[in-house]
Amino acid sequence: MGKYTLSVIKADVGGWVGHSDVHPDLLAKADERMAQAKSSGLIVDYYRSKVGDDIVFIMTHQKGPDSEEIHKFCWDSFVAITEVAKKLSQYGAGQDLLSDAFSGNVKGMGPGCAEFDIDVRPAEPIIVYAADKTEPGAWNMPLYKMFADPFNTIGLVIDKGMHDGFKFRVHDLRDHKEVVFSLPEEMYDMLVFIGAPSRFVIKNVMRKSNDEIVAATSTQKLHEIAGRYVGKDDPVMIVRCQSGLPAVGEALEPFAFPHTVAGWMRGSHHGPLMPVGTADDTPTRFDGPPRVVALGFQLTQDGILGTPRDMFADRSYDNARQTALDVADYLRRHGPFEPHRLGLDEMEYTTMPEVMEKLKDRFVKAED
């Protein structure tokens, strides 16, 4: 079997118009760079995708995860696309490039990254998800449902390859620690943490038998890198499917419920995560509502990604979209009030600190 690394690396290097889409000239530059990477032999294959104002590189190669060569090529590509964005006065040109110089790995520099090695099976269905106007914790509930909830994934009950459950690696984004849970036995322990998705984020799901990674997410925190609000950490995720893993339909099913995530306007609001086909991945109403697209690939043993299927374009997601639009209407009517607006803890990283600073001398001791 062929062994390949699947790397998904994304960045927002300029929005068209505002934060709603990516200009075709930026996408053309991205395509040109990816074609170069393939013809030079750096990567085996690629598919260039996007969601909202984020450009997504999906690549197969044989350099392993965290490859400096691959990461540098992506970084240099985002820098080159930023130049196009500046010429076209795109909004927030270079938004996610938070450093002046590349330092070995895009992680910690702004772009999001999910990657792992795959020992490719004779048939290898893979779904790459990309979301705009939200954060990495948005994957917690769907991943939990796919790999741990029998009401979502009947395979956990009736497929003996899945019946023992899976391991989950959870990152604490605040204290920079990680912990591995084994499910179903530690389900309730894990839920204590992943139910707080702004801080605890599922990084990987692994097979119990050999710790092989079968799902990965991006977990960058832009505000921690930049020390200020620069945009949400619009995340990507890779999930391998079938034959002892969730079926493709089980991996898509969680998104039939457009759960509430943090993000939306100015990264400061809660809203429904609406599953959409790629033609509709343009967050427009109040810069939203947050969107997720899913591209399905049948990876070959030669590492070829082939043509993706646009999984959420299917009309079976129409009701989820309608629910999301109804929830968006309902939440918008709260205006600047919680729980539409994020709670104070999370506002700390957005627009709140400057207002607090301005008013701090006007706060005096209150009389009871």
Residues belonging to the active site: 12, 229, 232
* Close Cβ partners of 316 (under 8 Å, ≥ 6 residues apart): 256
**Closer residue to Mg ion in complex, CB, 53/115:** 53
DSSP state of 329: H
Query: Contact between 253 and ligand 13P (CB under 6 A)?
Result: no
Query: Contact between 231 and ligand 13P (CB under 6 A)?
Result: yes
Query: Contact between 265 and ligand 13P (CB under 6 A)?
Result: yes
Overall residue count recorded for the chain in this entry: 368
**Closer residue to ligand 13P in complex, CB, 50/133:** 133
Q: Are 287 and 258 contacting, i.e. CB atoms less than 8 angstroms apart?
A: no
The H or E element spanning position 34 is helix 24-39
With the CA atoms of 354, 355, 358 and 364 taken in that order, what torsion angle do they form, in degrees rounded to the nearest 10? -130
- For residue 122, the one-letter residue type is P
Q: Whole-number minimum distance, CB 97 to ligand 13P, in Å?
A: 13
- For residue 266, the one-letter residue type is R
Measuring CA to CA, which residue among 65, 49, 68 is closest to residue 7? 65
Which region among 32-40, 213-221, 263-271, 332-340 touches ligand 13P (by CB under 6 A)?
Answer: 263-271
Q: Are 169 and 202 contacting, i.e. CB atoms less than 8 angstroms apart?
A: yes
Q: Whole-number minimum distance, CB 306 to ligand 13P, in Å?
A: 29
Residue 123 tokens, joined: 């048939």
Query: Contact between 135 and ligand 13P (CB under 6 A)?
Result: no
Residue nearest to ligand 13P (CB): 231
Query: Contact between 234 and ligand 13P (CB under 6 A)?
Result: yes
Residue 266 partner contact from ligand 13P, Mg ion, none using kind-dependent CB cut-offs of 5 to 8 Å:
ligand 13P
Query: Contact between 135 and Mg ion (CB under 5 A)?
Result: no
The label of the residue with tokens 């104002």 reads 53
Q: Whole-number minimum distance, CB 234 to ligand 13P, in Å?
A: 5
Name the site residues for ligand 13P (rule: CB under 6 A): 12, 19, 52-53, 95, 132-133, 231-232, 234, 265-267, 287
